[in-house]
C-alpha cells in the first residue's frame, strides 16, 4: 500500500474543512443565525490564507470581479478589497521577514509613468485634503483614495510574482466564474427578492435592491437586465482569448460557439450599447492579432453581414425584445419607438450633462489641476438633500444632478479633468500607450507557449481600454486602478514565461 505523507493530507484537510464550513454557512443562512455565518466566514478566510500562504496573491485576479460586500462583516470593503488587504498583509510580512519569493523585475517605462501618476494623485490630495464627515472640514468622502491605495498594493504584489503553466491555463476560467457568479447573484435577487435579501447578508449583490457601490443591477425604464453584463462580457473575453473568434462556429469548436452566443445574448439583454461596442472591439482585436490584414477584411465582412441581418430582422413580423433593440437601434431599421426613444434620451442626457459641466465651474472647480476625490461640503450636503427628495427636482433632474456632483459623467476625459485636471489626464496618456505596447509584446512572447491563452485574456482588455475610456464610457477612478491591475498581471505573466524558458 502506498504511503501518504503529511503534505498530501494538507489539501484533503483544507477541502474538507471548507466544505464543512460552507455547510455551516448554509445552515446559518437558513436559520438567520448571522453570528454563526460571520464566524464561519472568518474561519474560511483563515483556512484560505494558511492553505495558499505565499500563493495567496492568485486570489486577487480571481476575486477582481467580486465588488459586493460581505454584509454581515462590520467592514466597509468589497470582497475584492478584503482579498487585497489580506494579500498585502502577507506581502508586507514577507518583506519584513525576507520570505517573499519574488522574481527580479526591472522597472519598465510603464512602471515609471504609473508612479508619476501616483505621485500626482498624492499632490492632488494635499491640495484638496479630504476627511471624514463626522470630523468636519471643507472636503469629505475620500474613499477613492483608499481604492487607489489598494490598487497600488495589488499592482506591487502581482508584478513580482510568477505562476505555473497549470495555473495559467485555469486562471481565466476562475475569473470568468467569479463574474458569472456576480451576475447570477444579482439575477437571483431580482427574480427571487425574498431569497436574495436573505442571501445578501452573505454577499450584498444578492440584494433585491440591486445596488452595489456605484453599480446598479436594477432594470431601467426600458427593461434592461443590467446585471447580465458582467458575466456576459467575461464569457466573450474567455472565448476570444481561447481561440480565433472566426473559428468559433467550426463544428470542432461548438462549445466556444455556444459560450460566445450566450455572452452575446446576455449583452443584448442588458441593453447596453457600450457593452456591444466593447464586445465587438475585443473580438476584432483578437482576430486582427491572429490574422493581421486578413483579420481586418474578415471582421469587415462579418460586421457587414451581421448589420445587414439585424436590419432585415427589424422588418420581420416577429420583433426582438426591447432590450435587444435598444442595444442595436443605432443601425437603420424598423425598431420599436420605445427602444429608440430610450436610447436617444440617454444620448441627449449625456450631451446635456457634458455641456453643463464644461460651461460652468459648478461641478468642476479646478479644471487644470483637478478637484481631487471627494466632495466640497456644500456639494456633499446638496447630494444629501437630493437623496432625501427635498431638492424639488424631477426624478430625471435629480438623477442627473447626482451624477454630476459625483463626477459620474460617463466620459473618461471629463472624469479625469474633474478629479486630477487636464494635467492628470495628460499624465495618464503615456500609461495607456505603454500598457497597450506591453500587452502586444506579451501576446507576441506567449505565442506557442502554455501561457498564450492567459496572455490573451489579460492583454485584450488593456488594448481596448483607451478606446473605451476616451470614446465610449470611462471613469478615471476605476480605469486607473484597472490599468495598474492589468499591468501587474502582464508583468507577472512575463516573469512566468521567462522562467519557463529557463527550465
Confidence of residue 454 (pLDDT cuts 50, 70, 90): very high
Using the predicted structure, report yes or no on whether residue 213 has a pLDDT greater than 50: no
* Per-residue pLDDT at 5: 45
pLDDT mean over 141-151: 88
Dihedral (CA of 95, 100, 105, 110) sign: negative
pLDDT in tens, 72-91: 777 788 889 988 998 888 88
| Owner of C-alpha cell 466564474 | 177
pLDDT mean over 477-497: 95
Nearest Cα neighbor of 453 from 172, 220, 102 is: 172
* Per-residue pLDDT at 216: 41
* Per-residue pLDDT at 375: 77
Using the predicted structure, report yes or no on whether residue 43 has a pLDDT greater than 70: no
Q: What percent of the chain has pLDDT over 70?
A: 81
Q: How far apart are CA 352 and CA 12, in angstroms?
A: 59
Q: How far apart are CA 88 and CA 90, in angstroms?
A: 5
* Cα→Cα distances 383→88, 147, 375, 420, Å: 34, 21, 10, 21
Using the predicted structure, report yes or no on whether residue 209 has a pLDDT greater than 80: no
Average pLDDT, the chain: 82
Amino acid at each position: 500500500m502506498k504511503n501518504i505523507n503529511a503534505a498530501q493530507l494538507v489539501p484533503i484537510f483544507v477541502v474538507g474543512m471548507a466544505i464543512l464550513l460552507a455547510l455551516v454557512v448554509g445552515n446559518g443562512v437558513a436559520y438567520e443565525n448571522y453570528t454563526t455565518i460571520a464566524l464561519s466566514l472568518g474561519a474560511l478566510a483563515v483556512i484560505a490564507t494558511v492553505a495558499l500562504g505565499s500563493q495567496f496573491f492568485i486570489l486577487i485576479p480571481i476575486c477582481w470581479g467580486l465588488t459586493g460586500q460581505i454584509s454581515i462583516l462590520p467592514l466597509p470593503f468589497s470582497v475584492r478589497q478584503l482579498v487585497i488587504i489580506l494579500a498585502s498583509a502577507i506581502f508586507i510580512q514577507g518583506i519584513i521577514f525576507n520570505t517573499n519569493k519574488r522574481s527580479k523585475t526591472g522597472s519598465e517605462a510603464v512602471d515609471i509613468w504609473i508612479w508619476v501618476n501616483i505621485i500626482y494623485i498624492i499632490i492632488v490630495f494635499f491640495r484638496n485634503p479630504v476627511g471624514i464627515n463626522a470630523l468636519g472640514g471643507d472636503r469629505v468622502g475620500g474613499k477613492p483614495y483608499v481604492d487607489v491605495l489598494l490598487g497600488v498594493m495589488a499592482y506591487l504584489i502581482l508584478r513580482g510574482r510568477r505562476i505555473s503553466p497549470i495555473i495559467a491555463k485555469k486562471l481565466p476560467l476562475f475569473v470568468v466564474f467569479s463574474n458569472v457568479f456576480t451576475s447570477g447573484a444579482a439575477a437571483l435577487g431580482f427574480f427571487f427578492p425574498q431569497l436574495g435579501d436573505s442571501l445578501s447578508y452573505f454577499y450584498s449583490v444578492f440584494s433585491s435592491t440591486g445596488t452595489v457601490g456605484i453599480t446598479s443591477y436594477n432594470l431601467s425604464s426600458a427593461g434592461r437586465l443590467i446585471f447580465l453584463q458582467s458575466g456576459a462580457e467575461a464569457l466573450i473575453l474567455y472565448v476570444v482569448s481561447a481561440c480565433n473568434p472566426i473559428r468559433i462556429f467550426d463544428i470542432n469548436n461548438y462549445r466556444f460557439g455556444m459560450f460566445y452566443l450566450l455572452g452575446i445574448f446576455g449583452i443584448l439583454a442588458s441593453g447596453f450599447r457600450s457593452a456591444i461596442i466593447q464586445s465587438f472591439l475585443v473580438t476584432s482585436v483578437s482576430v486582427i492579432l491572429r490574422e493581421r490584414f486578413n483579420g481586418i477584411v474578415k471582421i469587415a465582412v462579418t460586421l457587414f453581414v451581421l448589420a445587414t441581418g439585424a436590419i432585415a430582422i427589424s422588418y420581420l413580423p416577429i420583433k426582438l425584445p426591447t432590450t435587444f433593440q435598444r442595444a442595436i437601434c443605432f443601425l437603420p431599421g424598423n425598431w420599436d419607438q420605445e427602444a429608440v426613444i430610450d436610447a436617444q434620451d440617454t444620448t441627449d442626457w449625456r450631451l446635456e450633462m457634458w455641456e453643463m459641466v464644461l460651461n460652468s465651474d459648478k461641478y468642476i472647480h479646478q479644471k487644470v489641476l483637478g478637484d481631487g476625490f471627494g466632495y466640497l461640503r456644500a456639494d456633499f450636503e446638496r447630494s444629501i438633500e437630493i437623496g432625501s427628495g427635498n431638492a424639488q427636482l424631477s426624478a430625471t433632474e435629480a438623477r442627473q444632478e447626482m451624477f454630476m456632483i459625483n463626477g459620474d459623467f460617463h466620459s473618461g476625459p471629463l472624469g479625469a479633468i474633474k478629479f486630477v485636471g487636464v494635467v492628470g489626464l495628460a499624465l495618464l496618456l503615456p500609461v495607456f500607450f505603454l500598457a497597450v505596447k506591453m500587452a502586444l509584446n506579451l501576446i507576441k512572447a506567449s505565442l506557442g507557449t502554455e501561457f498564450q491563452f492567459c496572455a490573451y485574456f489579460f492583454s485584450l482588455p488593456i488594448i481596448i481600454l483607451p478606446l473605451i475610456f476616451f470614446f465610449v464610457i470611462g471613469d478615471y477612478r476605476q480605469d486607473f486602478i484597472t490599468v495598474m491591475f492589468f499591468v501587474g498581471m502582464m508583468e507577472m505573466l512575463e516573469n512566468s514565461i521567462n522562467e519557463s524558458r529557463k527550465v
